[in-house]
């Protein structure tokens, strides 16, 4: 029983990371129609920047804040330079974002080499025993941050003027432009939000998982799987899908083989794509 | 009469010159270029002409390499037979996977093919009893020609380039055929094709099978040529690299794709001394090509060159 609890907790933890990455996918996809294959690499850059700023003996909180802002700006630059000139072709969009990911990895290799880095835990202290399972304090940070971000995003989308404009563009960008919303600004906003979420996901997982130049790839693909499970383009779906994927992965690595754990996400991906392509909660209606 | 009418003799002449005047290093690069070209030509048929993206093509390359090597190792049949056998097996896999994949379009198709590639790669790593897992397997028998094993780059060079030429010939015939017309129509305006009474799914599956067979032949020859297989070269990185080659070559240009392979291979050789800048360079090149040269980097450079030449001619008073 305590094994099961332990697995579910670690599944929830990993799942919230997938969910945050998945939300990053949806904020870009909803306003640009592009699936950003560099999403995981943004998370990696976020983590590596935070580690570097912390290494410059900045306080941890400031280092994190600075890194999140940097990645947001970086995402805006990517939109302006690589995505906006591109038009609407799906295949070219995919290839360009693969190219962006490759550049980010290249920058990480040139600047930081191929070795793995780690961030100290946000609060010190040993594992906390709960009902026979042990929980690292960082787990609470991850779950708490995720919940705060989700609620914040929900309030932003439903209460703020900018969030409403964003949703208008996601639902019908043509009509939104007619009533005077600047689509290009909203596209930049989509990338900035995606950069924020990606960077935060990368940073909060950095104390328990090592970060190196290519650690964004796997996390990015899993985030996409989370989107597909929950329903593509639907932020709540992405969060839900992430949690489901995280728990299923944790359970399968606990009770099946850990080697095949990586394949399970992709079997689920193909299964959902083929039999339930709209995901559990349904895709965003365009 | 242009170079285009003499492309086959010109290519064969160029290859003969390279064969007799190139050093061993150059020849070995050309062998690798030939193997990558085979897979890239298949991918160009699928992604370029039929417009269906694949991020998992390395899977077929890997299936070809491993099945041919395993059959040759365990049953002891000559590679001349196991290579076509592996092509048939990859074709069957494509035939089985195709109808499932092509229920999807665009991003979903890209991710499903990516997942397919990763699943095959994980299987190659995890089925330790059969594939040797991450340690790989050695002792794969080489191809032999009337009793002489084709061990060296010079020995295998005529074979691989012969196969490439045949594949180019077949692909060009396919593109010109009625099937090829349907394919190109699927790539250009998919929703129009059913109104003409053609089945889009059938023609997508057909081209997937053809491209899988091309990739598998390349992989199988690679296995017998290197003599040792590990899952590393068959990962998503290779799938992406193939797509880069096809994109730089201009997607739906068979000869352009071969030039793209040559370009990327030589570029990565030149960049080797500079350490890890390869990724940076690929990314920048991809973005530049996609935004400014949608018909391929090399053909766009050709256009720029010919425009410049025309301007120069106009400026000089005649």
pLDDT (tens digit per residue) in A274-284: 788 787 877 66
Which has the closest alpha carbon to A7: A269, A261, A263? A261
Residues of chain B contacting residue A103, judged by C-beta atoms under 8 Å apart? 279-280, 283-284, 287
Percent of residues, chain A, with pLDDT higher than 90: 21
Lookup: tokens for B149: 């094993």
Where in the sequence is the domain holding A163, given as residue range(s)? 2-120+136-275
d(CA A230, CA A223): 11
For residue A204, give how far its alpha carbon lies from the nearest alpha carbon of chain B (Å): 26
Name the band, by pLDDT with cuts 50, 70 and 90, for residue A1. low
Query: Is A255's Cβ below 8 Å from some Cβ in B?
Result: no
Of B302 and B192, which is predicted with more confidence? Answer: B192
Does A229 reside within a domain? Answer: yes
At B85 the pLDDT is 92
Of the candidates B104, B240, B283, the beta carbon closest to that of A273 is on: B104
Task: Note the pLDDT of residue A121.
Answer: 80
Q: How far is CA B251 from the centre of its chain?
A: 11
CATH class of the domain whose range is B3-277 = mainly alpha
Q: Do B112 and A114 touch (CB under 8 A)?
A: no
Mapping DSSP to helix (H, G, I), strand (E, B) and coil, where does residue B229 land?
strand
- What is the pLDDT at residue A109? 86
Q: A86, B291: Cβ pair inside 8 Å?
A: yes
State mean pLDDT over B132-158.
79
Within-domain flag for A174: yes
CATH classification of the domain holding A259 = 1.10.3470
Give the mean model confidence (pLDDT) for residues B62-77: 90
In a domain, residue A125? The reply is: no
* pLDDT tens string B268-278: 888 877 767 77
Q: Is the model's pLDDT at B316 over the cut of 70?
A: no
- The complex's ipTM? 0.82
Q: What is the pLDDT of residue B36?
A: 92
CA A102/CA A110 separation, integer angstroms: 12
List the structure tokens of A170. Answer: 């996601």
Number of domains in chain A: 1
Q: Indicate the average pLDDT of chain B.
A: 85
* Cα–Cα–Cα angle for A230, B52, B125, rounded to 5 degrees: 70
CB distance B287–A260 less than 8 Å? no
**CB-CB contact of B250 with B296 (8 Å):** yes
Give a three-class secondary structure readout of A102-135.
HHHHHHHHHHHCCCCECCCCCCCCCCEEECCEEE
For residue B277, the chain A residue with the least C-alpha distance is A106
Tens-place pLDDT, residues A136-185: 888 888 889 988 998 888 888 888 888 888 888 888 888 888 988 888 88
CB contact under 8 A, A96 and B53: no
**Mean pLDDT for the stretch of residues B112-135:** 85
The residue of chain A with its CA nearest to that of B115 is A266
Residue A129 is assigned to a structural domain of this protein: no
| Shortest distance, CA A266 to any CA of chain B (angstroms) | 5
Q: Which of A91, A103, A257 sits opposite B280 (nearest CB)?
A: A103
Asked if B126 is an interface residue toward chain A (Cβ–Cβ < 8 A), one would say: yes
Using the predicted structure, report yes or no on whether residue A34 has a pLDDT greater than 90: no
Domain-wise residue ranges, chain B: 3-277
pLDDT reported for residue A135: 80
List the single best residue of B108, B236, B249, B260 to mutate versus A (max A Cβ within 10 A): B108
Q: Which residues of B touch A267 (CB under 8 A)?
A: 115, 119
Nearest to B243 among A95, A109, A269 (CB): A95
Average model confidence (pLDDT) for chain A? Answer: 86
Of residues A240 and B275, the one with the higher pLDDT is: A240
* Nearest Cα residue in chain B from A102: B283
Query: Which of A43-47, A59-63, B269-273 comes out lowest in average pLDDT?
Result: B269-273
Helix residue ranges per DSSP H, chain B:
7-21, 24-43, 57-74, 79-101, 106-126, 128-131, 153-176, 178-188, 200-226, 236-249, 254-271, 278-292, 297-315
Nearest-angstrom CA–CA distance, B232 and B222? 13
pLDDT of residue A285: 55
pLDDT confidence of residue B39 = 92
Helices B254-271, B297-315: inter-axial angle, 10-degree rounding:
100
| Chain A residue whose CA is closest to B48 | A91
Q: How confident is the model at residue B3 (pLDDT cuts 50, 70, 90)?
A: low
CB contact under 8 A, B116 and A221: no
B246: left (phi over 0), alpha (psi -120 to 50) or beta: alpha
Q: Is A267 in CB contact (< 8 Å) with chain B?
A: yes
- The residue of A220, A270, A272, A275 whose CB has the most chain B CBs within 10 angstroms, and thus the best one to mutate to test that interface, is A270
Chain centroid to CA A42: 9
Q: Does A77 contact B at CB distance below 8 Å?
A: no
B240 to chain A: closest CA residue: A98
| Position A194 confidence tier, pLDDT thresholds 50, 70, 90 | very high
Q: Which residues pair with residue A135 across a beta bridge?
A: A128
Which residues of chain B make contact with A218, given a CB cutoff of 8 A?
A: none
List pLDDT tens digits, range A105-131: 888 888 888 888 888 887 777 777 777
Would you state the structure tokens that stand for residue A167, as one six-digit string?
């949703």
């Amino acid at each position: 029983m305590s094994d099961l609890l332990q697995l579910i907790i670690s599944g929830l933890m990993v799942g919230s990371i997938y969910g945050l990455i998945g939300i990053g996918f949806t904020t870009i996809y909803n306003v640009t129609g592009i699936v950003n294959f560099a999403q995981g690499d943004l998370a990696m850059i976020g983590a590596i920047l935070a580690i570097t700023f912390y290494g410059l003996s900045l306080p941890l909180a400031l280092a994190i804040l600075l890194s999140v802002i940097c990645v947001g700006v970086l995402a805006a630059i990517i939109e302006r330079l690589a995505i906006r000139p591109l038009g609407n072709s799906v295949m070219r969009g995919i290839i360009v974002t693969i190219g962006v990911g490759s550049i980010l990895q290249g920058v990480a290799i040139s600047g930081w080499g191929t070795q793995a880095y780690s961030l100290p835990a946000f609060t010190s202290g040993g594992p906390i025993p709960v009902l026979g399972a042990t929980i690292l304090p960082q787990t609470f940070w991850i779950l708490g941050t995720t919940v705060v971000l989700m609620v914040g995003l929900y309030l932003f989308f439903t209460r703020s003027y900018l969030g409403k404009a964003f949703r208008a563009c996601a639902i019908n960008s043509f009509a939104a432009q007619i009533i005077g919303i600047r689509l290009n600004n909203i596209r930049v906003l989509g990338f900035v939000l995606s950069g924020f979420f990606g960077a935060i996901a990368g940073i909060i997982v950095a104390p328990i998982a090592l970060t190196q130049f290519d650690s964004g790839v796997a996390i990015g693909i899993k985030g996409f799987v989370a989107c597909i499970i929950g329903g593509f383009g639907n932020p709540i779906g992405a969060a839900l899908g992430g949690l489901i994927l995280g728990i299923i992965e944790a359970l399968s690595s606990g009770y099946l083989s850990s080697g095949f754990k990586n394949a399970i996400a992709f079997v689920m991906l193909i299964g959902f794509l083929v039999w339930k392509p709209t995901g559990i909660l349904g895709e965003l209606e365009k | 009469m242009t170079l285009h009418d003499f492309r086959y003799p010109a290519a064969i002449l160029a290859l003969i010159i390279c064969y007799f005047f190139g050093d061993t290093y150059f020849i070995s690069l050309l062998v690798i270029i030939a193997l990558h070209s085979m897979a890239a030509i298949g991918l160009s048929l699928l992604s370029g002409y039929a417009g269906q993206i694949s991020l998992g093509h390395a899977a077929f390359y890997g299936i070809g390499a491993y099945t041919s090597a395993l059959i040759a190792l365990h049953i002891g049949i000559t590679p001349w037979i196991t290579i076509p056998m592996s092509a048939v097996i990859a074709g069957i896999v494509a035939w089985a996977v195709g109808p499932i994949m092509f229920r999807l379009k665009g991003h979903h198709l890209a991710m499903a093919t990516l997942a397919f590639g990763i699943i095959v790669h994980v299987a190659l790593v995890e089925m330790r009893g059969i594939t040797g897992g991450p340690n790989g397997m050695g002792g794969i028998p080489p191809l032999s020609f009337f009793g002489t094993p084709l061990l060296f780059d010079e020995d295998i060079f005529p074979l691989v380039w012969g196969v490439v030429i045949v594949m180019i010939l077949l692909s060009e015939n396919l593109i010109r055929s009625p099937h090829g017309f349907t394919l190109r129509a699927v790539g250009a305006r998919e929703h129009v094709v059913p109104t003409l009474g053609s089945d889009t799914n059938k023609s997508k599956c057909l081209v997937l099978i053809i491209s899988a067979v091309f990739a598998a032949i390349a992989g199988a020859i690679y296995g017998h040529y290197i003599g040792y297989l590990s899952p590393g070269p068959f990962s998503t990185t290779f799938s992406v690299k193939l797509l880069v080659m096809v994109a730089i070559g201009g997607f739906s240009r068979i000869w352009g794709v071969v030039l793209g392979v040559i370009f990327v291979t030589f570029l990565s050789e030149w960049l080797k001394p500079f350490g890890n800048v390869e990724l940076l360079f690929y990314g920048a090149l991809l973005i530049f090509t996609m935004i400014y040269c949608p018909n391929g980097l090399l053909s766009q450079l050709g256009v720029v060159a010919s425009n410049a030449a025309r301007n120069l001619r106009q400026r000089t008073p005649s």
